[in-house]
Structure 1
Amino acid sequence: MAGLASADAFKFLQAHTDTSVFAAIGIEDSSLVLGTEADFHSHLSDFEVENGELIDTSNNLKINVDAHGFLFESHESSNNNFSIESGSLLLEGEPLLACKSPNSNKFRIGTGPCALSEELDIKLTSSSHISASSASKREAFTVPSGVKDVATISSDIKLEFQQAKNTIGDFFNLNAKLFGALAINVGTKFNQMPIRKHASSSKTFFVGGDEGERVFFYLKSDSTLVDQFNKGIHIFPGGFVGNVQPEGNTDPTPGWKIIDGHLTLNEKSFFACETDDGDQVLSSEYCNYGTPVVLYAIF
C-alpha cells in the first residue's frame, strides 16, 4: 500500500472494540497511553511522522521503543521505521497494540505481546483520513445547565471502581469491556456517586447510597446497554433507568453513546430523582425535586 506524504499529522486513536468508540492519545510518565479525552483534557498530544520518525509536535520530542516494546518520548530518536499507510500508523510495517496498565483504566501503546495484561487491537488514524461519519462520533460533550462537572476523576476513585469490577465473575466474557458510571454535579450531594441497583427493585437504578451493588455497563454496537450480568437496560415510563424485565414487553433501549467520557442517552444527560422513601433514582427525564447530573464512564 502506498504511504502518505513524508510528514503527516494525526491526533485521533480508534480502539477496535465492539462499540468502535474513539479514544485519545496522551502522555503519562513519558509513555504513550490510550485513554478517553476526559482522562487527558487539555493534555492531548498531536503527532506527525516525518522521514520515518514519530514526533510529538506539542513538545518536539521523538517517540522510541523501550526494551519491553512500549512507546515512550525522549529527546533523541533511535527508531525511524514509523509509517502511515491507508491512514494507519505502522511500526516496521506492523500495527500497534495497547496493553492494560496495572491499577489504571489506561492502556500503554506498544508492539506487544502484552504478557499477562489485557491486550487491545488499536488503529492510529491520520486526521486526513477521518471520514465525516467518524468525525461525527467525536462531537464535544456539552455540560447541561445547572450542572458543574469535574476536571478529573481521582486515581483513588478509579482504583476503587477497578477493584469492584475485579470481584465480578466473568460469566459472559464482558469484563474487559465493562465500565462503571459516576453521577456528578459538584456542589450538590451528587459529587462522584456510583450508580447502584437493589435486588428488590430492578426497574430502577439508584444514585449513590450503600444498599445493593454497583452497576457496570457494556455498550453494544446497536447502541443498547447491558449490565455485568448481560441484562439489558431499559427506560421505563417517567424516564427511570433499570433492567429489562423477564415479564412484559420491554426491550433494551437504544440511543446510548459515550461522548468525551460521558455516558449519554440520545446525547442528553440525566436527573437524580428523589423518591418518597428518600432514595435517589436515575432518570432520563426531568422530575420534581430532581437534580441534573452527568454520568462519567470509568473503564
Structure 2
Amino acid sequence: MNKIANRQVICETLMEQVKEDKSIVALCSDSRGSASMTPFFNAYPENSVEIGIAEQNLVSISAGMAKCGKKPFCFSPASFISTRSYEQAKVDVAYSNTNVKLVGISGGISYGELGMSHHSAQDIAAMSAIPNMRVYLPSDRFQTKHLIEALLKDEKPAYIRTGRNPVEDIYSEDNCPFEMDKATVIKEGTDVVLIGCGEMVRPCVEAAEILEKEGISATVLDMYCVKPLDTEAIIKAATNAKAVVTAEEHAPFGGLGSMVAQVVGANCPKKVVNVALPDAPVITGNSKAVFDYYGMNGEGIAAKAKEALA
C-alpha cells in the first residue's frame, strides 16, 4: 500500500526542479507542515516565503512575484484558498494572467472530523467558473509528478487540488501515461463509462472490476484535467455506451458531473448519473468512513452503474 501522499510528491518534485531553476518559489499560509513543504523550506529558504494565516495576501503576493519573473507555487488548505482568496484568484491571478499555481491542500473532506468549515466541496465549481483558470485533480503520486513537471513548463494560472492522505497507486513509475489536458483512458469497455477525478478515480477502477465479474463492460476515464475538460474523450467514450457515471469528491452542483452532463447532453444524449457528496454537511469521520457512508467507493459506483443500465 502506498504511503506517499500527493502533496509530498509536489514537494519532492519542486525540490528536484529548483536545483536548476531558481525562479521557483514556494509560498505558504502557515501551512508548510500540512502541505508537506517543510523539507523545501528548510533546504531552500531563499526560495520560500511564509505569509502566515492571510490567504488573500498569499495569493496577491504570489501574483506580484510572478510579475517579477518568479514561478510561485502557492499552498493553502483548499477550503480556504478557494473561498477566502477567491477575489484575488479571480483578479490578481486569472484576470491578470499571472504565472501562479494555486495548490489547494487537504481538498474535499480530507480534514474529516474538523467538519464543514474545513471541507472544500465547492472548489471545483468555484475555480472552474473563473475565466483563464485551469483546474486539476491528480489521481495518484505518479500522475502528480507528471502534472507538476508539466505546469513548470508553462506560464498560465492553475489550481491544483490534492488530498491529505496517501492514495492507492493507479499507475506506476514505468507506466503512467500522461498528456497535458487529456484524460487518461485506464480501461475501455462498451456498456457504461465511469469518469472520475482525484481520489475518486481509484473507486472507479474498483467499480469496473466489480462490474466485469458480473458481465458488464466499463470504460474508465481519469479526468484529472477538469478544466480544460477533455470533451473529445468524453464524447468518444460515451457515444457507444448505454450510460455514463461520474464520481467526484465534491458537492453535486457545478463540478465534474455537471460538466460531463452538459457535454453528453449536447453531443450524444444518454443517462448521466453523478456520484458525489450530498448537498448538506457531511457526516463526521475520516475519508474512508465518509466515502463508504455515501457510496463513494467501488461497490457504490458499481451499484449506480447497474441502476443507470437498468
Assess same fold via TM > 0.5. Answer: no
Question: More helix per residue: 1 or 2?
Answer: 2
Larger Rg: 1
Question: More strand per residue: 1 or 2?
Answer: 1
